[in-house]
Amino acid sequence: MHNSPHLTRRHALGLLGATLLTGCAMGGGGSGAPASKAPTGKVSAGNPFGVPDSGKVELAYFKGGTPNYLAETVEPLLQKRFPNIKIQRTMSERLSQTLQPRFVGGSPPDFVDNAGADALNFGALIQDGQVLDLTAFYDAPSIDDPSKKIKDSLLPGAYESTLVDGVPYTVSFVARSFGLWYNAKLGLEAPTTWEAFIKVCEELKKSGITPFGYAGKNAADYQAEAILTSAVKIGGLELVRAIDNLEDGAWQAEAVKQAAEAWAEIGARFSDKSFEGLIHTEVQLRQNQGKVAFYPSGDWLESEQQKTTPKDFEYTMMPTPSITSSDKLPAAAVYALLGSSMFATAKGQNPAVAQEFMRLMVSKAGARAYTQASGWLTTVPGAADGLELSPGTLVSQRALAAAGEAKALITWKWNGWYQPLLTEIRDATNALMYGRATAAEFTERMQKKADEVKADPAVKKYQR
Amino acid sequence: MRHGRFLFIAGFLAAPVILYAVLVIGPYLQAFQIALTNWRGVSAQADFVGLDNFVRIFQDGLFWKALRNHGQMLLAVPLITIAMALAFAFLLNVAGRRTKGLRGSGIYRVVFFFPQVLSLAAVGVLFQLVYRPDESGILNGLVTGLGFEPVGFLTDPGLALWAIIGVMVWAGVGFYMVLFSAGMAAIPTEIYEAAELDGAGRFRVFFSITLPLLRNTVQVAWVYLGIAVLDGFALVQVLSVNNGGPDGATSVLGLQVWQHAFGNSTFGYASAMGVVLFFVIMSITAVTMRVTRREPLEY
């Protein structure tokens, strides 16, 4: 009894190991086997994807803090059009954890609203061929005007923003603007030049308000986005295309350095060091309390802060002021988040229904119902006309319209395509804004990371 | 007879062994396999890339930063925790008159143990408030109240890791105090009485009797703390700026594995890092056991 247990234990472990290795997470047998598709219906002008009369569709959504406006407003439209389709709704706060095993197993849902802090890595999904090519979807006739293709019925630039290597993968639905938010009731004249901006900041500082702040602990990317927006205003849209395409030296362009320098000065002179250790809601609350004037954010800020916004606070937004007098883009240029992270899956059971669902989404009725319920804008022109919008949403709508007219809607992809760059820029931004790094060190650091990503054979590269 | 007994025992053991094998050993072995691929976590296919991931890990600046952080924590956390726990345990058990502890030692024992009742995440959230960088933080409320600038406990690159080490010590001392107390209680009182008769003072008693007889317990504590320090994920994730910041000053390997796997979706790379972490823990444990090994004392 004294030495045999040892031997058998070893033996047993070895055996177990051998059996386990054969049945493991990624070595699934049926790799590459196409998923069995549900029977398709007849394709017609009114039914361009051939949705069958009956069957099942699974729609997966990120479950955020707000009601699921999309599901509530667009699912009924789908149900009305195809009463015999059974809609299964899957909701999760942690999409990655919930859905990843299903992608690996080859049985993903048909549609994914891929948002939240634990969203699935989109680049990896594309690389693995898990995302449906939406070329046919965008070429399908729009519901409101069948003579128009869907891609021509949206805001200018909305379709292009979904292209990855020339292929559209996401439904371009949401339109959000990004800028510097402040209290309209402060009575500030929104500065359009950097000198004017600094002057306003000096005056605010004298009156005892911290002129500018962002949350370093978890929202440094907001500040990074402000810096990059400034850089693109100086250097033009080519600059951001070069950054997205990981071109050599793109981050070290003079425009990026100028923008970083200008913002570093704001950080050093007009912000508060303690903000580096705060999270976004903490700084946003301070702004509501009148302790911080300008805060960089997207137009979700107003609804996010609804509960803590006092009566004498009305959100309004200005685009980042022009840094030089020779900026390539006008002051009205804004960073816009066009599109969405919503996609149909390539290996889903019922891609036709998923696409029809998206077609309804970008119809006037769908978009309007969505905006009405959520207060958020969409890429469908005119869908929000006549709706009663909040002051912040109105400002955002006007900013998007003005920038769109000037062909100065700034969009970028690098943060979604290459996560390591996003992780890096958060640290680099804090170092820059809190005086631990110079503008040159900032650009050098980002370039180094971009080069690293470019050289990493495991990560697929994209072009736009 | 023997055979029947074997079956009997095996029958009882089968369920836990299978569970353990499927849920623990299996993933371990798989991590070794995935570490050799470029798996991105969403498909059923992955290419074999040999030791490529490991080569890249050793060229990764952040990896070395994390190792350095682990080194600093490995030196500081066990040393401070064990020293404090020993001191407290001694005071509570034998430092008072004769072999009783200080007055009210029962209460102290319970109070010191409180942090152990909280989950690590809760401790992290608690210390967010303690370390908060503006005047509403508990510590900075005092600092600013005295008229100084608030201290960026978690934002100053030179201070952040120490702030986290402080939390680890705070959270650990109570448990090890109880562990050492139990060890001390097992030391026969005759030995103390004999020492006292020989005129040994309290310090002498501690260093010549208590400590040597607690050797095994301290050794176990050291290994436990070492492993805890090599994890550190929960605290760093909750407390640090930008997950391991500022600038990687508080980054730990566990956090990087998590970021690479669930942030970057480079599961192959993350698994390779996990494998490296596995070997680091194994070697540190082995070294600790080897260095501190001695003949066990019987009494």
How does pLDDT run across A97-123, given as a tens digit for each residue? 889 889 988 899 999 998 877 788 887
| Interface residue A459 vs chain B (CB under 8 A) | yes
| A285 token code pair | 């609350």
pLDDT at residue A40 in the model: 67
Q: How many CB pairs under 8 A join A and B?
A: 144
Helix then strand then coil, in percent of chain A rounded to 5, is: 45, 15, 40
Residues of chain B with pLDDT under 50: 96-97
- From chain A residues 306-365, the ones with a CB under 8 A of any chain B CB are none
| A436 token code pair | 């631990």
| pLDDT tops 90 at residue A383 | no
Q: Are strands A334-339 and A409-410 parallel, antiparallel or unpaired?
A: parallel
User: How far is the CA of A23 from the CAs of A16, A406, B271, in angstroms?
Assistant: 11, 57, 18
| pLDDT tops 50 at residue A32 | no
pLDDT at residue A67 in the model: 81
Residue B218 distance to chain A (closest CA, Å): 28
| A74 token code pair | 């667009």
Q: How confident is the model at residue A198 (pLDDT cuts 50, 70, 90)?
A: very high
Q: How far apart are CA A301 and CA A337, in angstroms?
A: 14
B285, B223 Cβ separation under 8 angstroms: yes
Q: How far apart are CA A50 and CA A37, in angstroms?
A: 12
- For range A39-52, the mean pLDDT: 79
Q: Are strands A292-298 and A174-183 parallel, antiparallel or unpaired?
A: antiparallel
Higher pLDDT, residue A64 or B128: B128
Residue A216 distance to chain B (closest CA, Å): 7
pLDDT tens-digit readout, B153-198:
888 888 899 999 999 999 889 899 888 888 888 888 788 788 878 8
For A460, the closest chain B residue by CA position comes to B40
Q: How far apart are CA B92 and CA B103, in angstroms?
A: 8
A234, A327 Cβ separation under 8 angstroms: yes
Q: How far apart are CA B143 and CA A387, in angstroms?
A: 51
Q: How confident is the model at residue A263 (pLDDT cuts 50, 70, 90)?
A: very high
pLDDT tens-digit readout, B137-165:
888 888 888 888 888 888 888 889 999 99
- For range A348-355, the mean pLDDT: 91
For A26, the closest chain B residue by CA position comes to B44
pLDDT at residue A413 in the model: 85
Percent above pLDDT 90 for chain A: 35
Q: How confident is the model at residue A229 (pLDDT cuts 50, 70, 90)?
A: very high
pTM (2 d.p.) = 0.78
| A241 token code pair | 């295309």
| pLDDT tops 90 at residue A27 | no
- For range A386-409, the mean pLDDT: 85
Contact A276 B246 (CB under 8 A): yes
Q: How confident is the model at residue A442 (pLDDT cuts 50, 70, 90)?
A: very high
pLDDT at residue A6 in the model: 40
Q: What is the largest CA-CA distance in chain A?
A: 88
| Interface residue A30 vs chain B (CB under 8 A) | yes
Nearest to B262 among A12, A31, A96 (CB): A96
For B21, the closest chain A residue by CA position comes to A16
The ipTM, to two decimals, is 0.77
Sign of the Cα torsion A280, A283, A287, A292 reads: negative
For B28, the closest chain A residue by CA position comes to A17
DSSP single-letter state for residue B295: P
Percent above pLDDT 70 for chain A: 91
Nearest to A21 among B29, B39, B132 (CB): B29
Considering A192-201, A370-379, B212-221, the range whose residues carry the highest mean pLDDT is A192-201
Higher pLDDT, residue A289 or A118: A289
Query: Mean of the per-residue pLDDT values for chain A?
Result: 84
Q: How many C-beta atoms surround the C-beta of residue B113 within 10 A?
A: 15
